[in-house]
Structure 1
Amino acid sequence: MTNVLILSPSFGKWSAGPAEVLADAGLTLCRPSRPGPLTSAQVRDELDGMAAVVVGLDEVDAEAISTATDLRVIAKHGVGVDNIDVAAAAARGIRVVNVPNANAEAVADLVLGLMLNLMRRIGDADASIRRGEWETFAGPELGELTVGIVGYGRIGRAVGRRAAAFGTRLVAFDPYAPADSFGETERAGSIAELLECSDLVTLHMPGGGPPIIGAEQLRLLEGGYLINAARGDLVDEAAVAGALAEGTLRGYAADAFTREPLRDSPLLGAPNTILTPHIGAFSHATNARMGTSVARDVVAVLRAETPAHEVLPPDA
Structure 2
Amino acid sequence: MPHVVLVLVESVNDYLHMLENQGYELILAPTPASRAEAIARHGARIDAVLTRGPLGLQADEMAALPLLRIICVIGAGFEQVDLQAASNQGITVTFGAGANASSVADHAMALLLSVVRGIPQADASIRRNEWVKVRQPSLSGKRMGIIGLGAIGAAIAKRAAHGFDMSIRYHSRQPHPDSPYTYCASVLELAAAVDFLMIATPGGSATHHLVNARVLDALGSEGYLINIARGSVVDTQALISALTAGKIAGAGLDVFEDEPRVPDPLKTLGNVVMTPHVAGQSPDAVEATVQLVVDNLRAFFAGKPVLTPVPLPHPA
Q: Same fold (TM over 0.5)?
A: yes
1:265 deviation in Å?
5.6
Matched residue, 1:208: 204
| Other-structure match for 1:128 | 125
SS of structure 1 residue aligned to 2:249: strand
Return closer, same or farther for 1:242/1:271 CA change in 2, 3 Å cut-off: farther
* C-alpha separation in 1, matches of 2:231 and 2:90: 30
1:7 alignment partner AA: L
Match of 1:8 in 2: 9
1:64 aligns with 2:31: no
Provide the C-alpha distance between the structure 2 equivalents of 1:83 and 1:172, rounded to a whole number of angstroms.
Answer: 26
Report what 1:83 is aligned to: 80
Residue in structure 2 matched with residue 274 of structure 1 by the alignment: 273
Cα distance between partner residues in 1 of 2:88 and 2:28 = 26
In structure 1, the residue matched to 2:153 is 156
Paired residues of 1:72 and 1:302 also in contact (CA < 8 A): no
Does the CA-based 8 Å contact 2:87-2:314 persist in structure 1?
no
Q: Which whole-Å CA distance do the structure 1 matches of 2:97 and 2:310 have between them?
A: 10
Q: Cα gap change, 1:42/1:151 in structure 2, threshold over 3 Å: closer, same or farther?
A: same
- Residue 169 of structure 1 aligns with an amino acid whose one-letter code is S
Calculate the aligned-residue CA RMSD, in Å: 2.2
The match for 1:73 among 65, 70, 74 is: 70
Q: Tell me if structure 2 keeps the 8 A contact 1:72–1:95.
A: yes
Shift of 1:118: 0.9
1:238 alignment partner, SS class:
helix
Question: Helix, strand or coil for the counterpart of 1:100?
Answer: coil
Kept in 2: contact 1:153–1:177 (CA 8 A): no
Matches within 5 A, 1:177-256: 177-181=175-179, 183=180, 185-209=181-205, 210-223=208-221, 224-256=223-255
> What is the one-letter code of the residue matched to 2:132?
E
The residue matched to 1:253 in structure 2 has which SS?
Answer: strand
TM-fit CA distance, 1:42: 5.7
Residue 137 of structure 1, CA deviation: 3.1
**Alpha-carbon deviation of 1:305?**
4.1
Q: How does 1:92-131 map to 2 (within 5 A)?
A: 92-131=89-128
Compared CA separation, residues 147 and 102, structure 1 to 2 (3 A):
same
Unaligned stretches of 5+ residues in structure 2 = none
Deviations 1:199-240 (A, max 9, x none): 111112222133111111111111111111112111101100
SS of equivalent residue, structure 1 residue 285: helix
Q: Which amino acid aligns with 1:294?
A: V
- Seen in structure 2, the aligned counterparts of structure 1 residues 95 and 190 have a Cα distance that, compared at 3 Å, is closer
Structure 1 residues 163, 120: closer, same or farther in 2, change over 3 A?
Answer: same
SS, match of residue 310 in structure 1 = coil
What TM-score do you get using the length of structure 1 for normalisation? Answer: 0.88
Distance 1:71 1:45, change over 3 A: farther
What SS class does the counterpart of residue 122 from structure 2 fall into? Answer: helix
Q: Return the offset for 1:144.
A: 4.4
For structure 1, the 5+ residue unaligned runs are none
- CA distance in 1: counterparts of 2:270 and 2:121, whole angstroms: 11
Counterpart of 1:74 in 2: which secondary structure?
A: strand
User: What's the offset of the Cα at 1:84?
Assistant: 0.8
Q: How high is the sequence identity, in percent, across the aligned residues?
A: 32
Measure, in 1, the Cα distance between the counterparts of 2:91 and 2:183: 40
Instruction: Check whether the contact 1:222–1:248 (CA below 8 A) recurs between aligned residues.
Output: yes
- Larger displacement relative to structure 2 (65-74 or 295-304): 295-304
Amino acid at match of 2:251: Y
CA distance in 1, matches of 2:257, 2:144: 24
Deviations 1:138-197 (A, max 9, x none): 31110142211222222222111111221222222234132221x1x3333332222112
Gap change, CA 1:314 and 1:93, over 3 Å in 2: closer
Counterpart contact for 2:203–2:230, Cα < 8 Å:
yes
Distance 1:167 1:310, change over 3 A: closer
Matched, 1:54 2:53: no
Query: What letter is aligned with 1:198?
Result: V
TM-score (norm 2): 0.88
1:54 Cα offset (Å) = 1.0
CA 1:308 to 1:271, structure 2 compared with 1: closer, same or farther past 3 Å? same
Label 1:106 to 1:192 Cα distance change in 2 as closer, same or farther (>3 A).
same
Q: Partners in 2 of 1:156 and 1:309 — Cα distance?
A: 18
Summarize the Cα distance change of 1:123–1:98 in structure 2 as closer, same or farther, 3 Å threshold. Answer: same
CA distance in 1, matches of 2:103, 2:310: 23
CA distance 1:167–1:312, shift in 2 (3 Å)? closer
Task: Give how far 1:290 is off.
Answer: 0.8
Q: How many residues are aligned here?
A: 305
